Amino acid sequence: MSTDLVIKVGGAAGQGLQTIGVALAKTFKKSGFNVFATQFYLSRVRGGHNTFQVRVSDEPIRAMTEKVDILIALDEESIEEQIEEMTDGVIIFDNDVIKINNNTDTNNGLFFHVPMLKIAKDVCGNKIYSNSVASGAALGLMCFEFDYLAKVLTEAFKKKGEEIIDNNIKAARAGYDYARDNYPSGCKFTVSEPSEDDGRMLIAGNDAVGLGALAAGVQFLAAYPMTPSTGVMTYVAANADDFNVVVEQAEDEIAALNMVLGASFAGARAMTTTSGGGFSLMAEALGLAGITETPAVIFLSQRPGPATGLPTMTEQGDLQFVLTAAQGEFPRCVLAPGTPDDCFYLTAEAFNIADKYQIPVFVMSDQYLADSLFTCERFVPSKVTIERHLMSDEELAEKGEYKRYEITQTGISPRAIPGQAGSLVAVDSDEHNEFGHIDQTIENRILMNEKRMKKLELLREEIEPPRLYGPKDAQITLVGWGSTYGPLVEVVNTLINEGHSVNHLHFTHVFPLPVESISDVLGNSEKIVCVENNATGQFAKLLECETGVKIAEKVLRSDGKPYSPESIIRELREKEVI
């Protein structure tokens, strides 16, 4: 890897960290580099200590490392908090805003004063352009081709007119030139842009989920906004007119899922998006989906609880709740994307599973995956199939007597839509018979319960096996699900280079689990370690319960932060796994 740099922007909420970070991420992507960007932010409008990190590499990357090469410090706290992460890097700061001790390392190049406010005011007449000065200064330290940033700024401000575009470019250019002319040793980091832009895109996990829903033909989305899931709702809403989708901001999450069930009962492809306590409110409606066998896609972006917890941070702490939420027992499916590609294709798959099995299907993400930006290949919509599993009018006419909950060998009943000619589609949230009418007899209860649960075993036979990364016969297997994919892949690469025998088994299809294929893979490992962003090893418990595979060693984290490859390797060493 010839280029692997991390640029971090630190400051308080409201100082424009995201503006700087996104502009840099888009600039590097435009030049052809691989980019991974992520943010740490507190749940407040102004103040606090927030960061936005951009990692740039000429090889594929899916995780953030712990070292920082360039820190753009917008406040003093950023220097205090991040200085330990600097190795041989540079801290860009404005000495007119942040006062540092004159005896500190200004001479050895660690601290580099860039008068951002003064430059912005001198060049553009207004200090509000200081963020563009900062972006330009960072690129100046890298001797990076400036035109890429100019193009990004042009696109970013095209709705605001030529004057705003010109001022931002002038400010960025002034910051760029200042860094090139004034940094003591000239360019600190010289990088060579990839020779060709390979046409990849830069996308956040939430946007990829929204795209997947649109590709799958979603027709109705109802949700109540809740961090970090809201991005999916806003993405679908922004494109609703082009794709003929109805998006409803419900009064609360209880209403949102009930609206989805109503739309789905009427034949529309429907989904809801939520997080944390919002899903807790949906639990009763989830049971309604279970007994009425109404398809529903539920996007659940996890954040640390309980209650409000850490609403803008990340965790994988809702799995056990999702598996058992709502009263009674009924089949459900849980999918967990680990990459933007997974976000797109798994969301589309979720709709097909929901329609085929007439069950609720969860797409479980988390704040880390939802808010991070990745470079990735463009999605291929033609790979997405739309499988509705609905009865046509002709099939219904040929059938004669229609039973909504007909007992079948698979447990899946033929699904007609209310209003189709000649048939009554009856539904009851009480236990019902094949026609959908209330029936509380013991015999009927047993029949209906068995019918519903039978679908789970059929789904288990069709579910995709976990993905193996690394050699099949490795001595150590690192097990993960969801957003830990990126850090764990990098851990495997690092450890193999050090001579260790290690692989990674990643689960995107979390429930039900394909028992046989899992046993085949894990049977070759001498040591299995589960890596999860929660305090109790929720997936490890599920794996043992479903397959009998007991995982004694776990690497767990529940402080609200995502894993870095370095943090996983540290724990593996402390536990003497390696």
Q: pLDDT of 453-510, one tens digit each?
A: 999 999 999 999 999 999 999 999 999 999 999 999 999 999 999 999 999 999 999 9
Q: Is the pLDDT of residue 275 over 90?
A: yes
Separation between Cα atoms, residue 448 and residue 430, nearest integer Å? 11
Q: Is the pLDDT of residue 107 over 60?
A: no
Q: Is the pLDDT of residue 269 over 60?
A: yes
At the topology level, CATH places domain 467-575 in: Rossmann fold (3.40.50)
Separation between Cα atoms, residue 512 and residue 510, nearest integer Å? 6
Q: Amino acid letter at 135?
A: S
Separation between Cα atoms, residue 10 and residue 572, nearest integer Å? 30
Confidence of residue 195 (pLDDT cuts 50, 70, 90): low
Q: Reduced to 3 states, what is the DSSP secondary structure of residue 364?
A: strand
- DSSP letter (8 states) at residue 84: G
Residue 70: what pLDDT?
A: 97
- Between strands 333-335 and 360-366, the pairing is parallel
Stretch 215-223: mean pLDDT: 98
* Out of 86-100, 330-344, 360-374, least confident range: 86-100
Stretch 187-194: mean pLDDT: 83
Separation between Cα atoms, residue 366 and residue 545, nearest integer Å? 24
Give the tens place of pLDDT for each residue, 338-390: 999 999 999 999 999 999 999 999 999 999 999 999 999 999 999 999 999 99
Answering whether pTM is above 0.85, one says yes
Q: Reduced to 3 states, what is the DSSP secondary structure of residue 365?
A: strand
Angle, vertex CA 456, rays to CA 454 and CA 459, nearest 5: 115
Q: Is the pLDDT of residue 522 over 80?
A: yes
Q: Is the pLDDT of residue 106 over 60?
A: no
Report the DSSP beta bridge partners of residue 136: none
Residue 392: what pLDDT?
A: 95
Confidence of residue 521 (pLDDT cuts 50, 70, 90): confident
| Alpha helices, H only, 185-312 | 205-215, 230-238, 240-243, 253-265, 276-292
The residue behind tokens 């200590």 is: 49
The CATH code of domain 4-182 reads 3.40.920.10
Q: Which CATH class is domain 202-383?
A: alpha beta
Angle, vertex CA 122, rays to CA 119 and CA 127, nearest 5: 65
Separation between Cα atoms, residue 403 and residue 380, nearest integer Å? 38
Residue 105: what pLDDT?
A: 53
Residue 35: what pLDDT?
A: 96
Confidence of residue 101 (pLDDT cuts 50, 70, 90): low
Stretch 436-443: mean pLDDT: 97
Confidence of residue 175 (pLDDT cuts 50, 70, 90): very high
Separation between Cα atoms, residue 422 and residue 433, nearest integer Å? 20
Q: Is the pLDDT of residue 221 over 90?
A: yes
Stretch 50-58: mean pLDDT: 96
Give the tens place of pLDDT for each residue, 277-310: 999 999 999 999 999 999 999 999 999 999 999 9
Give the tens place of pLDDT for each residue, 391-424: 999 999 998 899 999 999 999 999 999 999 889 9
User: Do 467-575 and 202-383 have the same topology in CATH?
Assistant: yes
What average pLDDT does the chain have?
95
Confidence of residue 196 (pLDDT cuts 50, 70, 90): low
Separation between Cα atoms, residue 486 and residue 43, nearest integer Å? 25
Give me the residue spans of the domains in the chain. 4-182, 202-383, 393-462, 467-575
Report the DSSP beta bridge partners of residue 374: 36, 203
Residue 190: what pLDDT?
A: 81
As a residue count, the chain comes to: 578
Stretch 52-63: mean pLDDT: 94
Separation between Cα atoms, residue 139 and residue 264, nearest integer Å? 50
The CB density around residue 257, as the number of other CB atoms within 10 Å, is 31
Residue in 303, 228, 226, 292 with CA at minimum distance from that of residue 260: 292
Residue 533 tokens, joined: 């962003």
Separation between Cα atoms, residue 352 and residue 299, nearest integer Å? 15
Confidence of residue 528 (pLDDT cuts 50, 70, 90): very high
Residue 552: what pLDDT?
A: 87
Report yes or no: 460 and 345 within 8 Å, Cβ to Cβ.
no
Confidence of residue 102 (pLDDT cuts 50, 70, 90): low
The CB density around residue 234, as the number of other CB atoms within 10 Å, is 16
Q: Is the pLDDT of residue 78 over 80?
A: yes
